[in-house]
Amino acid sequence: MTTILKPHFGIPLEREYEGWIVHRIEKYFRHIGKSVHVWAVSPTDEATWPADEAMIVGGKLFGLQFKQPKLGTYAAGTSPDFSRLKWILTSPPGQAALVASNPEIYYCLPTFTNREWRRESLHHALFWHPTSSDLANPVDLNVWYENLSTKVKSKNNNIVRHPSCFRWGEFIERVLNCQLPDGFERATPAHTVLQRIRRSYSEFMNIPQGERPDQQNQDSQDGSLETVLYLFYLPEEYFG
């Protein structure tokens, strides 16, 4: 099996994946001579959100929520294959429902666990926006790359074949062609979209921890939302 799934000094941290992939997204746009604005925002820190929303008028906004990949168990003396690759969306509690409720936000799911592949990280990631029906049951928060075993009860056991899951090339082509995010309307200013996303996160943080969606049967019950959301703004020049 390829070494892409063989951890090299351990599976990288979520923060490492964020840095590698965001850097390569910015590099992608520099190579084509276009600008992109990127913010790393914290749901718990208002100061991290864009301060001047007036500059975000035309164009398009999308967000990425990163998830660290995990490896399921595999036989001793063997190497993991892609049937063992998965992502767990249970932590922080309620985040999955929040992502599903904002069509502009996508999970970014890295498909490598060997840090030696970091320079090609943008080519080894999936971009997926789940719907509420994709996450209807707690078990569905376990997302597998491609595990067709009858023992796996998650409906998201073959995410690489999900019709709303994309590699970077197709994802950004659809964004630029206004096919994504779902429901995108040119007439709606991007700052209005930003305000809605910001409001939904703010409202979520004010929900009592025990009443938050997806919170039952979770591994983590701390109720925090300390993970970072990355927002990308593509100016009107892309769509003029």
The tens digit of pLDDT for each residue in 159-193 reads 999 999 999 999 999 999 999 998 888 788 888 99
Beta strands in the chain (DSSP E): 37-41, 60-66, 70-71, 85-88, 105-110, 125-128, 142-144, 165-166, 229-234
Largest Cα–Cα separation, the chain: 58
Backbone conformation region of residue 4, classed left if phi is above 0, alpha if psi is from -120 to 50, else beta = alpha
- Mean pLDDT, the chain, rounded, equals 88
Is the Cβ–Cβ distance between 145 and 159 less than 8 Å?
yes
The tens digit of pLDDT for each residue in 71-130 reads 988 767 777 899 999 999 999 888 999 999 999 999 999 999 999 999 999 999 999 999
Give pTM, 2 decimals: 0.90
Terminal CA-CA length for the chain:
46
Q: Would you state the pLDDT for residue 203?
A: 84
β-pair partners for 39 = 231
Instruction: Residue 228: count other Cβ atoms within 10 Å of its Cβ.
Output: 19
* DSSP classification of residue 51: S
Q: Would you state the pLDDT for residue 223?
A: 40
